[in-house]
Structure 1
Amino acid sequence: MISRLEITLMPLDRRTLLSTGLIATGFAATTASAGAGPRARPEATAPSVLSVAPTSGDQTAEVQAAIDKAAERGVPVVLAPGRFQVGALTLRPRSHLIGTPRQSVLQFIGGATFLAAEGAPDVRLEGLVVDGDRLAMDAARATSLIALVDCEAFVLSDVVVREGLLNGIGLTRCSGRVNDCTIAGMSDAGLLSLDARGLDIAHNFVTDCANNGIQVWRSAPGDDATIISGNRIERIAAKGGGTGQNGNGVNVFRAGGVLVANNRITDCAYTAIRGNGADNIQMIGNSCSKAGEVALYAEFAFEGALISGNVVEKAASGISVTNFNEGGRLAVVQGNLIRDLFRREHEIVDVRGIGIGIEADTVVSGNVIENAPSAGISAGWGPYLRDVSITGNLIRNAGIGIAVSSDAAGGACLISNNMISRTQNGAIRTMDHAVPHGPDLASADAQPPARIVVSGNVAV
């Protein structure tokens, strides 16, 4: 029987050759053959790639054979345009699969896993469509359509991952990069990383996922240092329920030193970027809109958050740095533009409508907040207030300009040189939790508590 697996020298375009390192090897082989004269034996030259063409029916065995042979020979597998119907495939160390972008489709036909690798360094997938076809996998054996475990220096580039009943891409103890990919229609998260060892997630489009867009988690608190930059994330639901563990564009849990920069995130059921117990998280230069809860969140047991240069539009709250009761502390909130917030009147307690909320060891400076129906800036909650500086901000059209906890157990708060315009319930007010009381501290004759210093503010 003639095998459908073709082993050929493929004419590749310059970009593919550069990405696979074949220009030098292919050119050298050609030159050597041409210069050898009558003694040259082209038929003995090893193939530069393995090529597989689509056919009807199950091609799992055929594609797996190509993966295995290519790994043995150290060459890529090139998948021709078309639809390959396959089940579980295992990637080998240095497996390299190349397709024609958006035309070479691996369509899942069922099985415990789909594309999986464990302990396989230098895996590369480029220009493929990975289609889960809404078919179930064994959740005990696979977290994702593409599941990599203990894989170093992997590359996923220009891959479309779609229609999966679990996560799209699952990475466990991996290093490498995911770039220029599209992840759409997942029943859980678009991308889930656990215990990363050096990960870049850049310039991807993540959309229409049921619970989270990009999750960077650790099994225990520790340094992670994943970089999440330049991604577009939209329409993230919270079908798994809960009070914030789902419904986030970017969800960082226990992972320290994560940088989330220059992303465009919109239409998230809860939060655009949520750091939970994430030390030294940075949220810089992101554009966030239509968040059902807090757009940018640093919460629970974290130390260190830098939230700077972001634009937030249409959220229940703009920025929250909270949970001093759990050890959440130490932040800079600077140079953000926050506008058009709303109150969730259907909520019994957590109504929000606050531009920036902070609690402990935090500087808030140079922010512009407009249309915050509850408060522009809220400092503290009951006794949970310590060493807060609020300076040089512009607040326009707010219920209260700056609200600060009046609890005697709270710590010091400096409020100076802010511009506060068009507030309905006072420019600077002390609060008993959510209830304002006492005079407007922006007035010349007001006497704030000794631990609250108010100076140089302009209220109009």
Structure 2
Amino acid sequence: MIDDLSAPTRRRFLAVSAAFAGLAAAPAWGQASPGALDAGALGVKPGESDQSRAFAKALERAAREGRPLALGPGLYRLAGVTLPDGAVLIGVGETTRIELVGSSPLFFAKGAKRVALRGLTLHGSNIPADQNSGLIEADGVAALTLDDVVVSGAGASALVMRRSGGALRGSRFEGARQAALFSMDGLGVSVTDCAILSCRNNGVLIRRTTKGDDPSVVSRNRIEDTGALDGGLGWNGNAVNVSKASGVMISGNAIRRSAFTAVRAHESDDVMISNNLCLDSGETCLYSEFGFSGAVISGNLIDGAAAGISVANFNEGGRMGTVVGNVVRNLFRRPKLDGPGDSYGQGIGVEADVAVTGNVVENAAAAGVSAGWGPYLRDVTISGNVIRSCDVGISVSVVEGVGPTTIVGNTVTGSRRGAVLGYRWDEVATPDLAIGGVAGMAGLTVAQNTLR
């Protein structure tokens, strides 16, 4: 068993002091980690030279013997090191720094059952890489663990996992050219208690080539300043982006300043988006879109976005969900991404088989809650919401062929154009339905709303 490397022992103090004093011999760090092999004793030396070959041999030996490999303080330069099955590499946090010296990944694991990296600082030297590559890559790995690891300067993504599972815990990912994590066809990855900062295209990507179950969890992370360097209509700029991956849970994250979306679930069934703090999103903040079925969006706080929550694309098969207990405020209009003019500004937008209940929406530049677009509206209930200081309280499509909609028991205060208005696409088509009633509109119920 390895001792806790954070324990302030005299041996550790002397080892760290020796490293920073520039002593020629690396400290015998394995002695402070019972059961571990000391990388320095196996020929791995900090300094300017490429240590890839010695490092790979040391890892292979440690894995073969079923022992961790302990790496002491210092700078190590590596490239293209294979992580064998059972490899466990441990360092001393920020004092154990590994830098990439070539165009290949820093570490690569394939077909392993278990691999772990702990207490390391990894830097990709900002070396440009293919957009689908990672500073760390795993292919067919059952359980890859990163624990207390710092990854920065990745020329593409920090970590790419293909057909792999594992856990990222208590780690920091910063400044990746693409994303912190790109998981494709995964076995389930948990991303918890991490800081994901200033990644230039996305934060966490969980995708599948075809729709299927993906038991991944993204929880209690701090995700900030996610960019959209490569532009597009929403493929980039997302703190968390889930595509064709069903059964993913995204909860309890603090997400700030996403170029586009805090959480985007694309063609993903049974996704739960709950209890996230989402501030200053550039486009729609929380999105369940296209061919999804089953979305739970609850308990989130959204402050500042071009739109708050969208459960949309009934025309593409998107249907069924709940939008419950969210606080959504300060929604603004912005230029359209795919045409001239401005758009956005709505608090909550839904289309088919959705209950919108118990939300508070304030200061939306367009509608506080919007039901349907053209003929794409079916079986929507909007009840028990508080909607304040919006341009329109609730908008509902009244185009021929729309399905049933119930708007009951909401409190609508200070709406500038009306409490409940019927629309034909983006044009107002009725007087205020909360005042004048819905005579002649089959399937539409508007009743018992409090207006002020």
Please, what TM-score do these two structures have when normalized by structure 2? Answer: 0.90
Q: Which residue of 1 aligns with 2:253?
A: 263
Q: Which residue of 1 aligns with 2:57?
A: 65
- Once the two structures are superposed, the pairs formed by residues 146-165 of structure 1 within 5 Å of their partners are 146-165=136-155
- Partners of 1:288 and 1:170 lie apart in 2 by 25
Larger Rg: 1
* 1:325 paired to 2:315: yes
Identity %: 38
CA contact (8 A) 1:439 1:446 kept: no
Q: Which residue of 2 aligns with 1:369?
A: 361
Shift in Å, 1:62: 1.6
CA contact (8 A) 2:152 2:176 kept: yes
* 1:398 paired to 2:386: no
Q: Which residue of 2 aligns with 1:429?
A: 421
Matched to 1:119, the amino acid is G
Matched to 1:237, the amino acid is G
The structure 2 residue matched to 1:206, chosen from 163, 175, 196, is: 196
- Relative distance call for 1:346 and 1:358 in structure 2 (3 A) is closer
Matched to 2:447, the amino acid is S
- Partners of 2:428 and 2:317 lie apart in 1 by 26
- Once the two structures are superposed, the pairs formed by residues 109-124 of structure 1 within 5 Å of their partners are 109-124=101-116
Matched to 1:418, the amino acid is N
The structure 1 residue matched to 2:69, chosen from 54, 64, 77, is: 77
RMSD: 1.8
- Relative distance call for 1:233 and 1:99 in structure 2 (3 A) is same
- Once the two structures are superposed, the pairs formed by residues 18-417 of structure 1 within 5 Å of their partners are 48-52=36-40, 53-137=45-129, 139=130, 143-345=133-335, 348-349=340-341, 351-417=343-409
Matched to 2:209, the amino acid is S
CA contact (8 A) 1:266 1:291 kept: yes
Matched to 2:239, the amino acid is G
Deviations 1:53-79 (A, max 9, x none): 413311111211111111111111111
Matched to 2:267, the amino acid is G
- Partners of 1:386 and 1:234 lie apart in 2 by 36
Matched to 1:49, the amino acid is L
- Relative distance call for 1:49 and 1:445 in structure 2 (3 A) is closer
Shift in Å, 1:421: 0.1
Matched to 1:274, the amino acid is R
CA contact (8 A) 1:205 1:231 kept: yes
Deviations 1:103-142 (A, max 9, x none): 11110111322210000111010011110001134x39x7
Please, what TM-score do these two structures have when normalized by structure 1? Answer: 0.88
- Relative distance call for 1:305 and 1:47 in structure 2 (3 A) is closer
Matched to 1:110, the amino acid is G
Q: Which moved more, 1:385-394 or 1:196-205?
A: 196-205
Structure 2: any 5+ residue segments left out of the alignment? 8-33
- Relative distance call for 1:130 and 1:15 in structure 2 (3 A) is closer
Aligned length: 420
* 1:420 paired to 2:412: yes
Matched to 1:405, the amino acid is S
- Partners of 1:68 and 1:445 lie apart in 2 by 76
Shift in Å, 1:12: 6.1
CA contact (8 A) 1:151 1:175 kept: yes
Look up the SS of the partner of 1:123 in the other structure. Answer: strand
Look up the SS of the partner of 1:62 in the other structure. Answer: helix
